[in-house]
Chains A and B, each alone.
Chain A
């Protein structure tokens, strides 16, 4: 009997949190945040496994505001969003970092954020702000791009996303399954953004005919199949910053990267932070959002996470400027469009490429 009561109460909680599926959300006023007394408050930042900061990075924040920060990380970007959606209303922490533009709409639909317009947004380019209601704040961005060896095949190096269907490059490309890998999904979106709703399926049909290798994740593609990881393939779906890492982490040391980026294949990923609805400390959470856009935090991002700071006043480290590339016009699709079509696109992709 007791078990039964417990079960009923779970169902009740579940039903209650699912029932509130309206688009209402709370908004936090920037003025009240600035005035709020936050000394001694402890808040929790929930994020993914790839979140790395220099130890002690929050010390100056704690000294200025009296707020101490605990970081809870677990899972990849998709898992972080799943966790937040499953625990909507009773969040694991106060601020979430790591939801990107490919998952953004899902988080917004599930109503997991409290809106807050940070004064620090003045330093952030408009094109990074995807939510007009400021339920999320852009913190960093990066690009998923095709990488190729600078030597190419018989001296021939692909320079465009369209080159991959050239018979000269048949069987040289490894990419990741869009249903299990974030870069794999981003590259699928890149082809949809490039060739349009009518053209992307033909492109993949041609690629599949020439022979494309698909792995489940990035490590498996880069370290298992790509030349610089010891495999046979010369084109791989990776990041715009991968050539930088190739130089920084080379062994023996090298001066120039053995790989380059195919610029017209780059799909932009923007990572956001948001105040989790239901937090007991919304003002302190808002102050942490401000801090994450401050030069102190933003300058710490590139060499720890290999993405670029959203704050345009913050300069990239010299290594990034020397070995990295500037992606002039990255590909993009709106979060609404991605959310609406995700299942259908990946389903079609699976039929074309894997069957």
Chain B
């Protein structure tokens, strides 16, 4: 089989491009070592000084700890399952059917991802109360919010890959008598499996370390590893207890990532390149019903909460108006800078963070796809930042870079954001690198192309689109990021838009609330716009193929 043959060819490629593959592996490894591994080791070591083995065992065997651990994993698994259930059909419809407004919907779906939790929680409560459902502080509220936030990951990452799959094999199977379901199960699903696994893992890690959603929508009776680490590290300042939980979190993340990486390696099937296939027309009643059904789900899950938010932000005095939006232009009370300045800063950080994540991620993805022990370690290590708590990482920077001025440098924010955005770039690009048929390389090489030319002419056109998707996500993550940012000490010049929303909601008054909601809407619009621009680039790049 291909699997047995592949390493030989990859090795010969590696020999020919030794210098490049060393850089491809070395740069991302160094990046992660400095900005993830080192700070984590530093803060864990610092916190565990003086903790005896007995203390550790006592804590790990307590019933409270076990229930926290199981709840953390359980809610994350349930969230992943629900997100897939909602996200996969949307991904399918957007990837395969010719429907009006699909570009806009694909852009809109990213918006929830960046909305501040406080604001989303309020929008959710308002929405559900209106239809008579009291979701406040319940398990269902946590799941609903997690689906809302993460459906974009599935729709974009899986959908992007799905749209580029060669449908001729499926069609051939159906000509030979396979039912659409059988064709999907035997041909499409195996090809999608690695990318579904990658997206699921990202969603899992997001929910595994979710903080605001658990605290606000889950209420004070529900605790996860993340909220417990925060409680111990910040409220009780029992750093040893916090560090033990952080270690458990870290080990779980590494084990899961290793499992998922193994699965993805085994399942990756080479395909003969990504092709632009015609979208299916809505020419039968069954198709129309299916697409309408999915559209309704998408609207209920993604669009309705956003619409509620927009409506609330327009409420001025006793009527409606735009004054909350106008107020964003000036520095009002409670804020160090005007909200619009904070938004500009967020966008700047996002661009820098996405550029770093894309550059490091592109190199990393090629190294991971090439395989080897270094590549496997890198694949696992890159996911760690998503799965460890913001407190741990934030305090890690504080302790790890204590001897340097770096811990209060303005660069620390975009770098921390790039670290968190990197897994998205990898989730999107690694499957693309793996799906490159090695025969394409052989053919190019036999025609006299050197490794650099092969990378430029064969690999680059095939990974460019997924890279844009991943970089777009990294930018979105950066714009919406609140947790880790709030743990880094920053000057007035690094005040971001999500921090402004948070600050505005720290005192009573409808003017402040209105401004916070308006700013949230503008953050969402900014990201939607960014997604639309990338969408256009995406189409251009596909049509170049």
- Closest Cβ–Cβ distance, residue B34 to chain A (whole Å): 12
Kindly list chain B residues whose C-beta atoms are within 8 Å of the C-beta of A7: 41, 45
Contact of B219 among A10, A53, A215, A223 (CB under 8 A): A215
Q: CA–CA, A46 to B318, complex, Å?
A: 42
* In the complex, per-residue mask of A187-218: 1 if CB is within 8 Å of any chain B CB, else 0: 00000000000000000000000000011111
In the complex, chain B residues whose CB is within 8 Å of the CB of A177: 220
Contact with B along A28-57 (1 / 0, CB 8 A): 000000000000000010100110110100
CA distance A18 to B48 in the complex (A): 11
Q: Considering the complex, which residues of chain B in the window 305-339 have a beta carbon less than 8 Å from any beta carbon of chain A? A: 316-318, 331, 333-336
Give the distance to chain B from A140, nearest Cβ to Cβ, in Å. 15
Interface string of B257-284 (1 = CB under 8 A from A): 0000000000000000000000000000
**What residues of B have a CB within 8 angstroms of the CB of A287 in the complex?**
none
Q: Given that A14-B45, A78-B234, A251-B510 are contacting pairs, would A224 and B215 also be in contact in the complex, using a CB cutoff of 8 Å? A: no
Interface membership of B170, Cβ < 8 A: no
Candidates B46, B230, B408; contact of A86 at CB < 8 Å? B46
Interface code B44-61, partner A: CB below 8 Å = 1, 0 otherwise? 011101100000000000
Q: Does A62 contact B (CB under 8 A)?
A: no
Asked if A86 and B239 sit within 8 Å, CB to CB, the answer is yes
Query: In the complex, what residues of B have CB within 8 A of residue A78's CB?
Result: 234-235, 237
Query: Nearest-CB distance from B335 to chain A (Å)?
Result: 7
Q: Inside 8 A of B289's CB, which chain A residues have their CB?
A: none
- Cβ contacts under 8 Å, B316 to chain A: 251
Q: Which residues of B contact A250 (CB under 8 A)?
A: 509-511
Which residues of the partner chain A approach B402 to less than 8 Å between Cβ atoms?
A: 87, 90
- Contacting pair B334 A74 (CB below 8 A): no
A354 to B236, CA, bound (A): 19
Evaluate contact between B216 and A180: CB separation under 8 angstroms: no
Bound complex: CA A301 to CA B171 (Å): 71
User: CA–CA, A14 to B46, complex, Å?
Assistant: 5
Residue numbers in B under 8 Å from A53 (CB-CB): 336
Asked whether A229 and B513 contact (CB < 8 A) given A13-B46, A72-B491, A82-B395, the answer is yes
Out of A18, A46, A79, name the residue touching B50 (CB < 8 Å). A18
A238 at the interface (CB under 8 A from B): yes
Q: Is the CB of A180 within 8 A of B492?
A: no
Which of B235, B399, B408, B514 sits near A251, CB closer than 8 Å? B514
* A85 near B237: Cβ-Cβ < 8 Å: yes
**Interchain nearest-CB distance for A314 vs B (Å):** 19
Whether the pair A303, B398 counts as a contact (CB closer than 8 A) is no
| Distance in Å: Cβ of B129 to nearest Cβ of chain A | 9
Query: B523 interface residue, CB < 8 Å from A?
Result: no
In angstroms, Cα B207 to Cα A205, docked, is 34
Interchain CB contact under 8 A, A49 and B317: no
Instruction: Pick from B237, B398, B502: contact of A81, CB below 8 A.
Output: B237
CA–CA, A76 and B50, complex, Å: 27
Is A106 in contact with chain B by the CB < 8 A criterion? yes
A53 to B331, CA, bound (A): 12
Q: Within residues 68 to 112 of chain A, which ones have a CB less than 8 A from any CB in chain B? A: 70-76, 78-79, 81-83, 85-87, 90, 92-93, 106
**Closest approach, in angstroms, between the C-beta of A70 and any C-beta of chain B?**
6
Indicate if B199 sits at the interface (CB-CB under 8 A): no
Query: B-facing mask of A4-34, CB < 8 A → 1, else 0?
Result: 0011001101110010000000000000000
Q: Report the minimum CB–CB distance from B254 to chain A (whole Å).
A: 16
Chain B positions within 8 Å of A72 at CB level: 408, 489-491
Given contact pairs A86-B239, A106-B237, A245 touches B509 in the complex (Cβ within 8 A): yes
CB-defined contacts of A52 to chain B, threshold 8 Å: 333-336, 503
- 8 Å CB contact of B398 from A55, A86, A304: A86
- Judged by a CB distance under 8 angstroms, whether A328 is at the interface is no
Give chain A nearest CB distance to B26 CB in angstroms: 15
Of the candidates B233, B486, B513, the one whose C-beta lies within 8 Å of that of A223 is B513
Known: A92-B407, A249-B333. A71 touches B237 (CB 8 A): no
CA distance A303 to B335 in the complex (A): 11
The verdict on B101 contacting chain A, using a C-beta distance below 8 Å, is no
Q: Which residues of A contact B506 (CB under 8 A)?
A: 50, 218-219
The answer to whether A222 has its CB under 8 Å from any CB of chain B is yes
Per-residue 0/1 for A158-193: is the Cβ within 8 Å of any B Cβ (1 yes, 0 no)? 000000000000000000010110000000000000
Q: Is B512 an interface residue (CB 8 A)?
A: yes
**A179's contact among B231, B237, B491, B509, by CB below 8 Å, is which?**
B231
Residues of A within 8 A of B234 (CB): 75-76, 78-79, 82
- Chain A residues closer than 8 Å to B399, beta-carbon distance: 86-87
User: By the criterion CB–CB under 8 Å, are A86 and B121 in contact?
Assistant: no
Distance (Å) between the CB of B219 and the closest chain A CB? Answer: 7
Chain A to chain B: the 10 pairs with minimum beta-carbon distance, closest first: A249-B509, A252-B317, A216-B215, A177-B220, A72-B489, A249-B511, A251-B510, A74-B489, A14-B49, A14-B46
Q: A6-B38, A52-B334, A82-B233 are in contact. List 4 more A-B contacts (CB 8 A).
A: A49-B486, A72-B489, A86-B47, A218-B506
- Footprint of B on A, CB under 8 Å? 6-7, 10-11, 13-15, 18, 44, 46, 49-50, 52-53, 55, 70-76, 78-79, 81-83, 85-87, 90, 92-93, 106, 177, 179-180, 214-220, 222-224, 228-230, 238, 242, 245-246, 248-252, 259, 303-304, 306, 342-343, 354-355
Residues of B with Cβ closer than 8 Å to A?
Answer: 38, 41-43, 45-47, 49-50, 118, 121-122, 125-126, 136, 215-216, 219-221, 227, 230-231, 233-237, 239, 316-318, 331, 333-336, 394-395, 398-399, 402-403, 407-408, 486-492, 499, 502-503, 505-514
